[in-house]
Amino acid sequence: MNTLEFTALVGLGSLIAGLLGSLTGLGGGVVLVPLLTLLFKVDIRYAVGASLVSVIATSSGAAAAYVKEGFSNIRIGMFLEIATTLGALLGAFLAIHLPADTIAIIFGLVLVASAWVSRKPRSLVERNLPPDPLATRLGMNGSFPDGDGTRSYNVQRVPAGFSLMFVAGGLSGLLGIGSGALKVLAMDQAMKIPFKVSTTTSNFMIGVTAAASAGVYLRRGYIDPGLAMPVMLGVLAGSLLGSRILVKAETRWLRIVFSVVIVVLGIEMLYQGLSGRL
Amino acid sequence: MAVEKAWTDRRIENTVGNLLRAGVSISAAVVLCGGIIYLVRHGLAPADYRIFHGEPSDLRSIRGIVWGAVHRRGRALIQLGLLLLIATPVARVAFSIVGFAEERDRMYVAFTVFVLAILVFSLVGSS
């Protein structure tokens, strides 16, 4: 395959990944690395580098639209970014020292786990919780537009959320994914932050988290311009297209299909990693 | 007081939104330009990413990337675009410091400076 054909095919694959990721809200980054390693036979280190770059692009693009709506809470985001960026640095250093097979196995496990988490119904966040002293000191409690007026919320269990965010950052840095699902889980389930605030704040944080490990990746030579170019442009175009279409009625089926794809890719990554074929 | 604070937050968020959009658009444009140059020159060469070699040193440092981009090298231009993309959230964090300082929120200025320090360390740090 010559470079022109390779670029066109990778670009098309990335566009589809970005489109599906945006339509289902599951993120495109999670299928990119398996796509590149399993289908295009790209070394997992190059794949992770290219994926990380595309994660920054989609997160920043989407965050640009979200921040103006007034849902995201920049104080919660900034405080938790301390945890995610430290985790991302650790993840990037681990990625440099761990063998490719081990990374593939961890990737497979994370894929299967994320599909599992996304199919479970969310337990609804209780409203009108009493203020937590630590969250109050950190100025995290806020409000957001809800229907006619605004709804306020009190953030709970900051240490638990902070720890989960460190793990989310580590996985992001190690695997080149956004870890959006885990970030939302940390905020909406552990810290009891309303779902809409959690998702938009998470999106806001993904770009900063990915930037923390992307610097390490770039300096270590893991980001190849010839590969990252079609991946970044493809995913960005796909996610922009996805946000335009927004066929709400069909997303439920799309989510199920996409979850199945994620599980299959996860098992394949596990198999390849365990049999040492990557 | 509460109203005024909310207003400042909204203003910061609007500017941040514009900053993010501009960063992504500019970097995508630079990557596209570099990509066209790269494909015109090397489009027919075989593509092989099976074995990891690591990038050459001039595509790994900010200095090398800028030098290559000035000389209109396709791969260096793409890399410059990616560097601008990585810099976008960094600029967002840096801008938030100004926002929190305007609100006289010393605690959050400190948090934000810490996050910025991690990001800068990642990009230019030792090794």
Task: Please report where in the chains the tokens 């699902």 appear, as a residue.
Answer: A181
Task: Residue A61: list chain B partners with CB under 8 A.
Answer: 20-21, 24
Task: Residue B118: list chain A partners with CB under 8 A.
Answer: 82, 85-86, 89, 212
Query: B27, A57: Cβ pair inside 8 Å?
Result: yes
Q: Report the distance separating Cα A87 and Cα A142, nearest Å.
A: 26
Write down the pLDDT at residue B3.
44
Please check whether residue A276 is in contact with residue A45, taking contact to mean a CB–CB distance below 8 angstroms. no
Write down the pLDDT at residue A56.
92
Q: How far is B94 from chain A (nearest CA, A)?
A: 11
How many beta carbons lie within 10 A of that of residue A250, not counting itself? 11
Assess whether pLDDT exceeds 70 at residue A137. yes
**Which residues are A143's β-sheet partners?**
A152
Chain A residue with the nearest C-alpha to that of B92: A208
Task: Residue A211: list chain B partners with CB under 8 A.
Answer: 86-90, 119, 122
Please check whether residue A221 is in contact with residue B75, taking contact to mean a CB–CB distance below 8 angstroms. no
Write down the pLDDT at residue B46.
84
Q: How far is B47 from chain A (nearest CA, A)?
A: 5
Give this prediction's pTM.
0.89
At A184-234, the pLDDT tens digits run 888 888 898 888 888 888 888 999 999 999 999 998 889 999 999 999 999
Full domain range(s) for residue B53: 2-124
Residue A90 phi/psi, 5-degree rounding, is -60, -45
Q: Which of B51, B79, B90 sits opposite A43 (nearest CB)?
A: B51
At A224-275, the pLDDT tens digits run 999 999 999 999 999 888 877 765 546 677 777 778 888 888 898 898 888 8
Q: Report the distance separating Cα A101 and Cα B86, nearest Å.
A: 27
Write down the pLDDT at residue B8.
60
Query: B92, A70: Cβ pair inside 8 Å?
Result: no
Write down the pLDDT at residue A47.
93
**Ordered DSSP codes for chain A:** -BHHHHHHHHHHHHHHHHHHHHHHTS-SHHHHHHIIIIIS---HHHHHHHHHHHHHHHHHHHHHHHHTTT---HHHHHHHHHHHHHHHHHHHHHHHHS-HHHHHHHHHHHHHHHHHHHHSPPPPPPSSPPPPHHHHHTT--EEEEETTEEEEE----HHHHHHHHHHHHHHHHHH----HHHHHIIIIIIS---HHHHHHHHHHHHHHHHHHHHHHHHHTT---HHHHHHHHHHHHHHHHHHHHH--GGGHHHHHHHHHHHHHHHHHHHHHHHHTT--
Q: How many helices (H) and strands (E) does chain B have?
A: 4, 0
Of residues A78 and A254, which shows the higher confidence score?
A78
Task: Residue B86: list chain A partners with CB under 8 A.
Answer: 53, 56, 211, 214-215, 218
Domain ranges of chain A: 3-274
Query: B52, A45: Cβ pair inside 8 Å?
Result: yes
At B45-94, the pLDDT tens digits run 888 888 888 888 888 888 888 888 888 888 999 999 999 999 999 998 99
A259 Cβ contact list (under 8 Å, min separation 6) = A26, A115, A118, A119
Q: Tell me the C-alpha to C-alpha distance, in Å, between residue B47 and each of A184, B44, B75, B86.
A: 38, 9, 14, 26
Chain A residue with the nearest C-alpha to that of B53: A221
Write down the pLDDT at residue B81.
95
**Confidence category of residue A144, pLDDT binned at 50, 70, 90:** confident
**Confidence category of residue A278, pLDDT binned at 50, 70, 90:** low
Judge residue B23's burial from the number of C-beta atoms within 10 Å of its C-beta, 0-12 exposed, 13-18 middle, 19 or more buried.
buried
Angle between helices A158-175 and A195-219 (to 10 degrees): 40
DSSP 8-state symbol, B45: S
Q: How many domains does chain B have?
A: 1
Please check whether residue B117 is in contact with residue A209, taking contact to mean a CB–CB distance below 8 angstroms. no
**Rg of chain B on CA atoms, in Å:** 19
Count how many pairs of residues, chain A against chain B, have C-beta atoms within 8 Å. Answer: 206
**Confidence category of residue B42, pLDDT binned at 50, 70, 90:** confident
Query: B82, A225: Cβ pair inside 8 Å?
Result: yes
- Min mean pLDDT across A190-194, B10-14, B20-24, B56-60 is at B10-14
Q: Report the distance separating Cα A194 and Cα A255, nearest Å.
A: 22
Write down the pLDDT at residue A12.
96
Q: Report the distance separating Cα A87 and Cα A168, nearest Å.
A: 7
Q: Which of B27, B49, B79, B123 is best to mutate for the A interface (most A CBs within 10 A)?
A: B49
At B85-125, the pLDDT tens digits run 999 999 989 988 988 888 888 999 999 999 999 999 998 87
Q: Report the distance separating Cα A144 and Cα A154, nearest Å.
A: 12
Write down the pLDDT at residue B2.
45
Exposure letters B60-88 (e unless 16+ CB within 10 A, then b): bebebbeebbeeebbbbbbbbbbbbbbbb
Assess whether pLDDT exceeds 90 at residue B13. no
